[in-house]
Every structure is written in C-alpha cells, then in structure tokens.
Amino acid sequence: MPLNKFISKGHQHFSNSSKDLSDGGSTTGSGEPVDSDDIEETDESGQSILLNIISQLKPGSDLSRITLPTFILEKRSMLERITNQLQHPEIALDAKSDPDELSRFVKVCKWYLSGWHIAPKAVKKPLNPVLGEHFTCYWNLPNKQQAFYIAEQVRHHPPESAYFYMVPESGIRVDGTCIPKSRFLGNSTAAIMEGSSVLQFLDVLDRNGKPEKYVLTQPNMYARGILFGKMKLEMGDHMVIKSPSFEVDVEFKTKGFISGTYDAIHGVVKDYHGNEYYEISGKWNDVIYIRDLKDKNGPKRVLFDTHKEVASKPLVRSINEQGEYESRKLWKKVTDALARRDHVTATKEKLDIEDYQRELAKKRVEDGVEFQPKLFKPAKRGQDLNYYIYKNIPTDTSYENQIKTILELVPILPGQKFTDKFVMPAHKKCELAEGRSRASTPRSK
C-alpha cells in the first residue's frame, strides 16, 4: 500500500503525547514519572486564587471571560483534546465495512462512546484556544492507512473550535464544531457543550444516493466540589446520534444528592417509527453494555471496555517544525511550567499570551477589520455546522489525490513547510481558487 510516498516509517518516533512537552514533572516513590495532569492540586495559594475568583461570581455567571488559575489546567489546548473522540479509529473502520445498516449504526455508537473516558485522572480543564490557533496531527493506522486531523479556533466570544478529520483510503470523514459555554453553579461549574460532529461514510450511499451521514451531539461536563468536598468530573445530560434510519438518545446520568451512582449511561437504539432494537447501559468510563431488545431474556454483552481497549494517540510534528500559532508551540512555556507544577511561571506565561491577544483584538477594532479564519469558512445555509474546512475534498477522485489536497491545506506530516498562501484568510483562498477555475474554463461561443 503506497502510503510510504506520503510519510516514511522513520517518522513514527515523533511525539504523540502532551507528556513529551516538558522535561519536568513529578515522580512516584519508585521514581516512575507521574503526569501532572493526573495530580489534584490542593496547595493553599492555588485554592485562594480560585476562591477569590468565585467570590466575584454569581450562580449562572459566564466563566468564559474569567481567567482561571493554572493549577486546574490540562497541558493541552481544547483543539487537541477534541482528538479524544478519534482515538479508536479501528471501530470506525469496522463500522464502515459492515454491510448491515443497523449493525453499522451500533458500531458508530460504540465508536463515539469510546473516547469520553480519555481524560486526566484529576479534574482538569483544557487550555482555551486563542483566536486563530490551530492544531494538526495524523495517525498511522493498523491497516497501513493514514488519518488526518485539522482544527482551528474560529471564534472567541462565544468560543468556537472547528475541526476536520479524514481517512481518505477508507472514505471516512468527520467535520465538527465545538462551542463550550461555561457556567458557575455554586459548588460546581458546567461546560454546556454546543456544536456537533458530522460523520460520513463517503462510499456508503443512503436511499437518496448521498453519502451515509451521522450527526452526533455531545454530553455536557460538570466539575463538582470546587468549594467543598472532593472535586469530581461528571458527564451529564444527553448525547444524541442520528443516521438516515436510526437514532439513539444516550442519557449521561449525574449522581443525585442522596441516591444514584456516578457515570451511568442509558439509551435505546430505535428507528424513526418508534421500533426499539438495542439498549445501551453501563458507565462511560468503565464498561459499556448492549442488549438486544428483541430477545427478551437475552443477556447484556460488552460493547466497549475502557480497561481493555488501547487508544491510538495522535502523532504530531516536532515543535521546531511548528508555526507560532500551532497549539503545542503557542502554549509550550505554559505546559512546560505546568509539568513542573510551577504555577507562578505558568500563570505569567499564560497572561502574556492572553494580553497579546487583547492587543490584537483592540487593533482590529481600531482598524475596522474582523478576524477571518485561515483554514475554515462559514457554512452555507442549510448545512449542519457553522464552519467547514475551506477547500473541497472531492469524493470522485483517488485517495492519493484526496491526501494531496489535505496536505496542501496546512502542514500535518513531518517535513512539511508552510507556504506563503497559508497566511491568507480562507475566504480569500476560495476566491483565488474560483478565479483560477473560471480562467481555465473555455468560454462558449
């Protein structure tokens, strides 16, 4: 399989984890390194900062405009954290190859549920991307294919991240937007996760002759115990998956004050006539089960076991190849300090980045210009999302041409260089491409 023409096997050593961003960190008593993202910070200085911020808030307040203390920050940007949902590509590949539509839908459910457990052990919040920040990565898949991911922060208030993922050779494509809206609720904070993902199997056609499409929403996230009690992350509310023929509404149940349990989920796979087929239950961070509802006495079987399945971490170009607005390079001084648990330095470096962004925003206002994304363009009326990758990835061409088109958008693989055209806003690139297309089209007499 000719993937070697796009990347040689020798490039597989590049960093694929945010743990590699720093030489610092903590160790266990045996000397084993411990990721600082897994450490719940309880130092008095950190808690006093948090309490000072909370004292300024009222329940229901918007947290997106508040600078949170660094000790609760994960060493990754939200643009990178989105890739958690893509770290079990083998499930998507299995779903795509299944000829049965209902079975295929169940496997899509399994794929989407497989990523929520990938998170720090401690309660940590990803870094808020700055406007224009971008992140790219890729996967070398077990079937010798490659997957590519591109994300950009396209808005700041409200914050919105747009992303694109594709496995060209298998005809799998995901487009999405993530719009987290933070709220202070008293002893907890909520991240209301608006936006959705659109998964397409490009060569599996629906009854209308279009690529089979799945629209997937996200559950909300809650950080409990920020004032008193033990801090705990919960997923809550609903996650909906819809295909042309089936849907499931998975409820992520939060623990009640007196009764209930943590992390439970429940949903029923049904068609649009109300016929029920499967029940999904269990815990999103433990074992997820499925039961065939047509077999009244049938047992539950394991759909996904988070303890047995191994996530495929994304591969990322080295820091010295990255541009100044790529996530890992942009936040490197902050994440290095977080790895050392040096929150004074982390706070200073983070404020420097945020202050510079305020200066840029002020200058845009003075100049009467609006920010324009470089990699994504606003959607057309009637589309599922607010933004899509700016360049058309044709479905009626070879996967080699599709990969070539993707790699022309922005550097993703080791050794790629930025072009002069990269700095142009996405809409300008589209206008330029359309102008070239018109110029090359013969005029009719």
Alpha-carbon separation of residue 133 from 196, 398, 409, 413 (angstroms): 20, 31, 15, 18
The reported pLDDT for the residue numbered 149 is: 98
CA dist 116 and 310 (Å) reads 13
The reported pLDDT for the residue numbered 138 is: 98
Domain 2-362 bears CATH identifier 2.40.160.120: yes
CA dist 207 and 347 (Å) reads 54
The reported pLDDT for the residue numbered 211 is: 96
pTM value surpassing 0.85 = yes
Helix (H, G, I), strand (E, B) or coil at 342: coil
Q: pLDDT 10s digit of each residue in the chain, 445 long? A: 433 345 433 343 333 444 444 444 555 454 556 677 767 665 444 455 556 566 666 666 665 556 667 778 899 999 999 999 999 999 999 999 999 999 999 999 999 999 999 988 888 889 999 999 999 999 999 999 999 999 999 999 889 999 999 999 999 999 999 999 988 777 788 889 999 999 999 999 999 999 999 999 999 999 888 777 788 889 999 999 999 999 999 999 998 766 678 999 999 999 999 999 999 999 999 999 999 999 988 899 999 999 999 999 999 999 999 999 999 999 999 999 999 989 899 999 999 999 999 999 999 999 999 999 999 999 999 999 999 999 999 999 999 999 999 999 999 999 999 999 999 999 999 988 777 766 665 665 4
CA dist 248 and 105 (Å) reads 9
The reported pLDDT for the residue numbered 111 is: 98
CA dist 336 and 345 (Å) reads 9
CA 32 to chain CA mean position, Å: 29
Question: Which amino acid makes up residue 440?
Answer: S
The reported pLDDT for the residue numbered 68 is: 63
Q: What is the DSSP string of 275-338?
A: -EEEEEEEETTSEEEEEETTSTTPPPEEEEETTT----PPB---GGGS-TTBHHHHTHHHHHHH
Residue whose C-alpha is closest to residue 38's, from 74, 77, 82: 74
Give every CB contact of residue 194 below 8 A, 6+ residues apart in sequence: 179, 180, 181
The answer to whether 86 touches 24, Cβ cutoff 8 Å, is no
Q: How far is it between the farthest Cα atoms of the chain?
A: 82
